[in-house]
Chains A and B, each alone.
Chain A
Amino acid sequence: KTQVEQSPQSLVVRQGENCVLQCNYSVTPDNHLRWFKQDTGKGLVSLTVLVDQKDKTSNGRYSATLDKDAKHSTLHITATLLDDTATYICVVGDRGSALGRLHFGAGTQLIVIP
C-alpha cells in the first residue's frame, strides 16, 4: 500500500501564476519530510526539508508546510517560471527503521506554459 500520496497527479499553470502541491502520508513514525524537484531525465534535487511537528520553510519562491498531526504537507511555488516545469516528489523519512528508510510519493508533474 502506498504510504505517500501526492496530489494532483499533474498540473498545468501559466507562467507567473502560483500553485500548491499536496502530500498526504501514513508513514509512522515520521521523522522528516523533504520535497525534491526532478527535471526530466535528471536526478532529484532537494528543495526543502521539514522536521518539526508543525513546520514551515521558505527557499526563494518555494515555501512548504508540514503538519505531522494531520500527516500533511504542502509545497507552494510563487510566480512560476518555465524552468519550474518538473516533477515534484514528496519523501517521508522513517526514524523507526534502522535502515534509514525513505518513503517516496509518485510525484506531481508540473507544467508551466507561457
Chain B
Amino acid sequence: DMKVTQMPRYLIKRMGENVLLECGQDMSHETMYWYRQDPGLGLQLIYISYDVDSNSEGDIPKGYRVSRKKREHFSLILDSAKTNQTSVYFCASSSVKGWSDYTFGSGTRLLVI
C-alpha cells in the first residue's frame, strides 16, 4: 500500500529546544514537501525537495531547515523552537511531474510551550 508516513504523530517541546520531524515514502517519488496547517488558514509550503540534497525554500522557510539524504526520507528541523511554530505539519510526495499524484501523510501535531 503506497503511503507517506510521518513520525512522530504528536510532539510537545519547550521553547528553545530542537525539533526533528521525519517523513518517509515508499513510492520512489522524487519530489517531497513540508507544509504547516494552522486554524482558518490553508496549508502553507515550508520547503520542497526535488531529490537528494536538492531543496528549495517555499513560502515560509524562516525558522526551519530540511534534510534529504535518501530519496525516500525527508526531515524537517526546527533549531530552537518558538511558540509560534506550534502547528500541524504535513509531509507530501509526488512524482517529478505528477501534478495529480500528490500524497499526504497524516501529519505531526507539534506543541511548543
Contacts and interface: CB of A to CB of B under 8 A. Distances in A.
Asked if A and B bind, the verdict is yes
A103 B42 contact: yes
B20 to A, nearest CB: 20
A96 to B, nearest CB: 12
Contacts of B105: 43
Interface in A56-75: none
Nearest to A31: B99
A107 B106 contact: no
A106 B42 contact: yes
Given A89-B42, A99-B56, A100-B31, A46 B102 contact: yes
Contact of A43 (B40, B41, B90): B90
Contacts of A104: 42-44
Contacts, number: 50
Contact of B41 (A45, A51, A106): A106
Interface string A24-60: 0000000110101000011111100101000000000
Interface size class on chain B is 20 to 34
A49 B100 contact: yes
A43 B107 contact: yes
A100 B48 contact: yes
Interface residues of A, number: 26
Interface string B92-113: 0010000110101111010000
A44 B100 contact: no
A102 B40 contact: no
A14 interface: no
Contact of B100 (A32, A45, A99): A32
A70 B84 CA distance: 37
Interface of B: 4, 31, 40-45, 48, 56, 58, 90, 94, 99-100, 102, 104-107, 109
